[in-house]
Structure 1
Amino acid sequence: MFSSIKHVIEDVKQGVPVVILDDENRENEGDLIVAAEHVSAENINFMATHGRGLICLTLTSEQATCLDLSPMVRKNRSSHGTNFTESIEAASGVTTGISAKDRATTVLAAIGKGAGPHSIVSPGHIFPLIADPGGVLNRAGHTEAGCDLARLAGLKPASVIVEILNADGTMARRDELIKFAKKHRLKLGTVADLIEFRLKNENTVLKVSSRTISTEFGTFLLFQYFDQIKKFSHYALMKGEVPEDQAILVRVHVHDLITDLFGRKRGVGWESPLKNTMYRLAKERNSVLVLLNPQEGTREDEDWSSHSIDSWEDSTLGEIPDMRTFGVGAQILRDLGIRNMQVLGEPKSMHAIRGFGLNIVGYVPQY
């Protein structure tokens, strides 16, 4: 049913399209992926005819910079934080740009040797997506899977991807995707398995120190992790130890300087989300708090002049803004020896978390 990532990579290397799901969960969606170096009018037509979704080109941030691509919008408000750029067309060799041949020509122009701003024009009929530099280890998305699979196949880290829809226009789910792959004799893999494959040989965060600290909430073991992609540190606080026979209470908190210092208004009163978290975790015999530095696009990148502290009543500060980008926190939890955990917070969809060797057994309300 599902192929090993090794076999998926072999087909990617040969230019054969593959089907990639988030995970084996039946609610997950799937994309057709083909290495950009091997793109042709035939497989673009196959994607348009049988995939039916939006045909996109996954690129590294370096390649996007070489092409001088600008973000599609100034502020990305999409639920998954998908990093779209302006659409593109090949600067020459195309007619209207929409035919399968023209779109293949555009892809090859964008990734070719010496490609630059002169190679393309905008707008166009191909939609570039910029992958997170850490790939699926940082963001468990199809954009990152496309670049990772091409790189692991020894090709340029760029792929053409398209969502797979059913004939009635609804999203194809696991059972439909299994039938789709079987019908077209395509390898079927998952982002979760790709994460697991990469973790056998690499990671994007590295533990650099640990020490015991005393706080108003009790004594904790403090760990420092260096983010090898973003070049800054994240931290973890552990109370007690990781039990072998039961789940440990865990909270992953995205640091926000102003709110962590001063709190925020909630209802008729004030609260400090981080302090509330610490109080709750301190009640447990064993617990872990992961403190992540803010990612791009979070509040520390914003213009503070338009904000007042009491305007944050309904904000989600401290939450991971895009639930596909939990990879850094997941790597830290894995390194701490955690396998089964209860998450302090509201239930959320954690795409492909199985690939990190983590199992969420339940959620505990924070308030």
Structure 2
Amino acid sequence: MTENIGILGKKSPQRTGVERMVNAPLPTVYGKFQAVGYLDHDRGEEQVALVHGEPGAENVLTRLHSECLTGDAFGSQHCECGDQLASALRAVVAAGSGVVVYLRGHEGRGIGLLGKLRAMALQAEGLDTVEANLALGLPVDARDYGVAAEILRDLGVRSVRLLSNNPRKREALVRHGVQVAEEVPLLIPPCESNITYLRTKRERLDHRLPHLDALAHWS
């Protein structure tokens, strides 16, 4: 089997459910990227990886970012998603190279936009994010990172320095054949609107958020 030779070369002939469709230059306020568009044939979803510089194959600074319309586009302070996306894009530019895989279909940890909004309504009534999903009969976390692993392999990436506070992302990548050389924290200062949400992520979803310890008095 011919080895994948990376973003600027030919795609690997290995057949997967994800097909690279287009490369396009994408100048942003953070720096210059290549937007690499994919079609996930299995799920019918369009995906995109933003690639800065020449990442190579090993120890690539990488963010797997779950789609979050309310945070990424609207600046919601209910979560820290928008700030994490911006910080990740800045980080890969500062590093000189890296990849941000933007995972569509991950809205609300995989329950969709309307499901997430319903869960947010229940959270406004006092439930936490886990309780709200369960009260709606929805999974707590339905995200699948297999597509992200396929995209990284298509880009020629074999191991990553993963920008994440979520150990489940590391476990998923390793399970799908992408090695994680390091986990790089992506800690965003909390605000009054998301402190309860962040504490729930740490206490019930195992996210590594040590910076919340300094706010033990904040209720």
TM-score range, shorter chain: 0.5 to 0.7
Distance of aligned partners of 1:344 and 1:353 in 2 relative to their CA distance in 1, 3 Å threshold: closer
Cα shift readout 1:302-350 (whole Å, capped 9, x = no counterpart): 1736746x96xx869xxx9346x21000000110000111000125144
Letter in 2 for 1:330: A
Q: Out of 204, 216, 220, which is 2:17 matched to?
A: 204
State the TM-score, normalized to the length of structure 2.
0.61
2:64 alignment partner, one of 233, 245, 252? 252
Stretch moving more, 346-355 or 221-230: 346-355
The residue type equivalent to 1:333 in the other structure is: L
Q: CA RMSD in A?
A: 3.4
Q: CA deviation at 1:266?
A: 6.9
Tell me the CA shift for residue 211 of structure 1. Answer: 1.1
* 1:364 maps to which of 184, 188, 207: 184
The separation in 2 between residues aligned to 1:270 and 1:355, in whole angstroms, is 25
Q: Is the 8 A contact 1:247 1:341 kept in 2?
A: yes
Task: Give the distance between the partners of 2:52 and 2:13, measured in 1 at CA.
Answer: 28
Unmatched 5+ stretches in structure 2: 1-11, 131-139, 188-219
**Counterparts in 2 of 1:282-321, with a 5 A limit?**
282-295=93-106, 297-302=110-115, 304=117, 307=120, 321=141
Shift of 1:262: 2.1
* Separation of aligned partners in 2, 1:266 and 1:305: 14
Structure holding more helix per residue: 2
Q: Which structure's CA Rg is the greater one? A: 1
- CA distance in 2 between partners of 1:203 and 1:270 (Å): 29
Please give the residue correspondences for 1:158-237 in structure 2 after superposition, counting only pairs within 5 Å: 202-237=15-50
Equivalent in 242, 258, 263 of residue 75 of structure 2: 263
Q: Is the 8 A contact 1:256 1:294 kept in 2?
A: no
Task: Find the residue that maps to 2:77 and give its secondary structure.
Answer: strand
Deviation at 1:235? Answer: 0.2
Residue number in structure 2 paired with 1:341: 160
1:216 and 1:352, CA in 2 relative to 1: closer, same or farther beyond 3 A?
closer
Which residue identity lines up with residue 263 of structure 1 in the other structure?
A: G
Structure 1 counterpart SS, 2:186: coil
Q: SS at 1:281's partner residue?
A: helix
CA 228–250 in structure 1, closer or farther in 2 if over 3 Å, else same: same
Amino acid at match of 2:44: K
1:242/1:260 CA distance change after superposition, 3 Å: same
1:332 is matched with: 151
Q: Take 1:341 and 1:270, find their aligned partners in 2: how far apart are those partners?
A: 21
d(CA) in 1 for partners of 2:97, 2:116 = 39
* Alignment partners' CA distance in 1, 2:116 and 2:171: 31
Distance 2:115 2:94 in 1: 35
- The partner residue of 2:89 within 256, 278, 287 is 278
After superposing the two structures, state which structure 1 stretch, 351-360 or 226-235, moved more: 351-360
In structure 2, how many angstroms separate the alpha carbons of the residues matched to 1:345 and 1:231? 26
Could you tell me whether the CA contact under 8 Å between 1:347 and 1:363 is conserved in 2? no
Structure 1 runs of 4+ with >6 Å offset: none
Identity of aligned residues (%): 24
Give the Cα–Cα distance (whole angstroms) in 2 for the partners of residues 266 and 231 of structure 1: 29
Distance apart, 1:287 and its partner CA: 0.8
Whether the 8 Å CA contact 1:345–1:363 is kept in 2: the answer is yes
2-side partners of 1:363 and 1:347: how far apart?
A: 9
The equivalent of 2:6 in structure 1 is: none
Q: What secondary structure does 1:346 align onto?
A: coil
Q: What one-letter code is carried by the residue in structure 2 that aligns with 1:257?
A: L
Distance 1:315 1:243, change over 3 A: farther
